[in-house]
Amino acid sequence: SVKGYGTVVTGIPVAGTIKIGDDVVLFPQGTKGRIKAVQVYKRNSDTAMVGQCAAINVPQWDYKNIDRGCTATLGGYFTPEQWYLCKLETLSDMKAPLKTGASIKFHTGTSEVLATVYLLEANRAAAGQTHLVQIRLDRPQRIVAAPGDRFILRSLSPVQTIGGGMIVEAIDRKLRRNQEHVVRDAHDRAAAVLSEKAFVEYCVKTAEAHAVTEGELSVRAKMLPGPLKVILAELVAEGVVIALDSKLYAHRKTVESLGQRILAVVGDFHRTKPESPGMSTDQLLEASGLRKDVFEGLVGLLRSKGKLVERKNRLALPEHQETFSDAEQQLLARVESLFKTQRFKPPKFDEIVKCITATPEDIQKALKILIEQEQLIRVDRDLLFHREAVERARELLTDYIKNEGGLESVKFKYLLDTTRKFAIPLLDYFDQIGVTRRVGYTRLLRT
């Protein structure tokens, strides 16, 4: 603590830059603060960069709670973790083999913590070997470390250096040892960390939701937005990463795989329901199991390439044509004719069943098809009108309001020569779709 300033923290930045006014977080405590002053090599400065001997003044921090090994970072990028995947190189003169499950001292940055080491592919590591290992810090200890940070392992007794290497990434749990796919992914991850560009590609490729936003990627790759945008632009230009929208990215292989999955779902739907024009967006979203923004990005991409089309508010394969048996076509025609004939006094389901010789199930199916084809429009939960009736009602309504300045709700039934139980739901429907607005008991046109 410096009189007149408060807490001053010294150290050497290992990544990025810091400047006066930056909001920072002290880990592992998680205490937030703002940089009030900066010195570099004991001279006042506005900023400090990687490799410089720096001091920062953060009045909000209590110096009594700061120990060797604490880390200051920009907010939003790090959390203290207990598990780390690392690449270890043992010393060529290591005295005894390192056994999996051994207790060790783990050194990274200025941190020194007790931990346990688990080899990913073997039960012991001999001198001069390279192994992927998992480090579990002893509870309750947690530290902050970034991909690419260096570390050293030492034995507890006698205290001897075992080896060192590179932190690959923090992990949220212990990985299963000797599992081929787990080991393969760990090696891919370790190789990717050697290059910022390769690691960004790896993070996009392995995103849990199949795609990732710039913000999510910035946190996963521990990279500031500016440099990240440059790398993403390069990967997009190379066709390795696909921009699903302005801020959502997926790996090319993921896009190809998920695109085929979506098309297969739609194809299966066509085979089981050839009479339908296609799947609703909600149906396809649920069947895909994808996050909504990822789904929308992929569907937009498939539509732009002509692999998926929208017809009657349904998604379909471009080659799909609705097909019906002769009996189905006849039933559809009879049901539609009934609605056309009764116009502004459309039949309820029970009336249709009495008027048409068909099973209730077949009539229900016919109604669903006519709704999908947009020949029937659902105005209320149990009230359907033919499309032509709705269009004519809209014309009568808008013409009347233009001439009279407004329509008293009670008068609409006289315009249509129908009853209140049909007229009022139609008025409410026109309110919902933005044709009119209600002011008291009067309808006005929306502007």
Domain at 83-178: CATH code: 2.40.30.10
Model confidence band, residue 140 (pLDDT cutoffs 50, 70, 90): confident
> What is the distance between the terminal CA atoms of the chain, rounded to a whole angstrom?
65
Domain ranges of the chain: 8-74, 83-178, 195-323, 325-447
pLDDT recorded at residue 54: 95
pLDDT tens digit sequence for 161-198: 999 999 999 999 999 988 999 999 999 999 999 999 99
Q: Are 406 and 442 in contact (CB under 8 A)?
A: yes
Domain at 8-74: CATH code: 2.40.30.10
Amino acid at 95: K
Helix, strand or coil, per DSSP, at residue 41: coil
Which tokens go with 279? Answer: 């799947």
**Is 416 a residue whose pLDDT tops 90?**
yes
**Is 2 a residue whose pLDDT tops 80?**
no
**Is 201 a residue whose pLDDT tops 90?**
yes
Distance CA 337, CA 339 (A): 5
Query: What is the CA 132 to chain-centroid distance, rounded?
Result: 30
CA-derived radius of gyration, the chain: 33
Q: Are 50 and 13 in contact (CB under 8 A)?
A: yes
pLDDT tens digit sequence for 289-346: 999 999 999 999 999 999 999 987 899 999 998 888 888 889 999 999 999 999 999 9
- CA within 13 Å, CB half, 124: 7
Helix, strand or coil, per DSSP, at residue 198: helix
Q: Do domains 195-323 and 325-447 have the same CATH topology?
A: yes
Long-range contacts from 37-45, C-beta under 8 angstroms, 24+ separation: 37/5
Domain at 325-447: CATH code: 1.10.10.10
pLDDT tens digit sequence for 367-382: 988 998 889 999 998 8
Which CATH entry fits the domain spanning 195-323: 3.40.50.360, 2.40.37.10, 1.10.10.10, 3.30.70.20? 1.10.10.10
Q: Are 374 and 312 in contact (CB under 8 A)?
A: yes
Strand partners, 125: 98
